[in-house]
Chains A and B, each alone.
Chain A
């Protein structure tokens, strides 16, 4: 079955960097787009970024543009979220999620999430 497993979360100081990874299994990874969506403690869902099946198209939420970078390695069935200049307001659970199709914005499967805490 479709599985997405996030890793790399943790506690980081403001202004520092962190890289999240998302490993996929149970489907042909190179055929599907991937999103990152976050959820601050006790809050709702907030879409962060998207990468198409081949990495040629990327979209970002305005507040993370220039600070976050999404990338993928289809040979490793993995997607990465490089986060830099982190702010306390970036504190959240970060979900890796599959897009339904090569360039689809529809999210159909979600990972369990990785906690990121930005605090001094």
Chain B
């Protein structure tokens, strides 16, 4: 199984600040078949189901604000929120969809300072 490790476990930032979440995989998620990394980011707000934010490590899902961006390749990935808004309070998960079993990171809880 591919292990997914997120850091930090929790993060508090001020409104308008940049927030950065790291995700590391135990093996490369890059596929030469399509030159893409099989890495997605999800946002789960309290009491809600998860929502897809980013896929192929850096492609923003339709309708997701452009303050959310994904970067990285291979085994090291980052989700960045450029200017934190109150509605961004949530738990963020990375997930590999390179192979089965699909695996998620442990989640990063983002709060407003």
Contact = CB atoms under 8 A, between A and B. Distances in A.
Interface of A: 35, 44-47, 50, 59-62, 95, 100, 104-113
B50 A45 contact: yes
Contact of B104 (A45, A59, A100, A113): A45
A45 B40 contact: no
Contacts of A47: 95, 101-104
Nearest to A45: B104
Given A106-B97, A110-B50, A45 B107 contact: yes
Nearest to A44: B107
B72 interface: no
Interface on chain B toward A: helix, strand, loop, or mixed SS?
Answer: loop
B52 interface: yes
Nearest to B106: A44
Contacts of B55: 100, 106, 108
A66 to B, nearest CB: 15
Nearest 8 CB-CB pairs, A to B?
A105-B97, A47-B102, A110-B49, A59-B100, A45-B104, A44-B107, A106-B97, A108-B52
B104 A46 contact: yes
A112 B45 CA distance: 12
A34 to B, nearest CB: 13
Interface on chain A toward B: helix, strand, loop, or mixed SS?
Answer: strand
B101 A62 contact: yes
Given A46-B104, A95-B49, A110-B50, 13 more contacts: A44-B93, A44-B105, A45-B42, A47-B103, A61-B101, A95-B50, A105-B38, A105-B100, A105-B102, A107-B42, A107-B52, A108-B61, A109-B52
B101 A59 contact: yes
B51 interface: yes
Contacts of B93: 44-45
Nearest to B93: A45
18 contacts: A35-B102, A44-B91, A44-B93, A44-B107, A45-B50, A45-B93, A47-B95, A47-B101, A47-B104, A59-B100, A95-B49, A105-B100, A106-B40, A106-B55, A107-B97, A108-B52, A108-B61, A111-B49
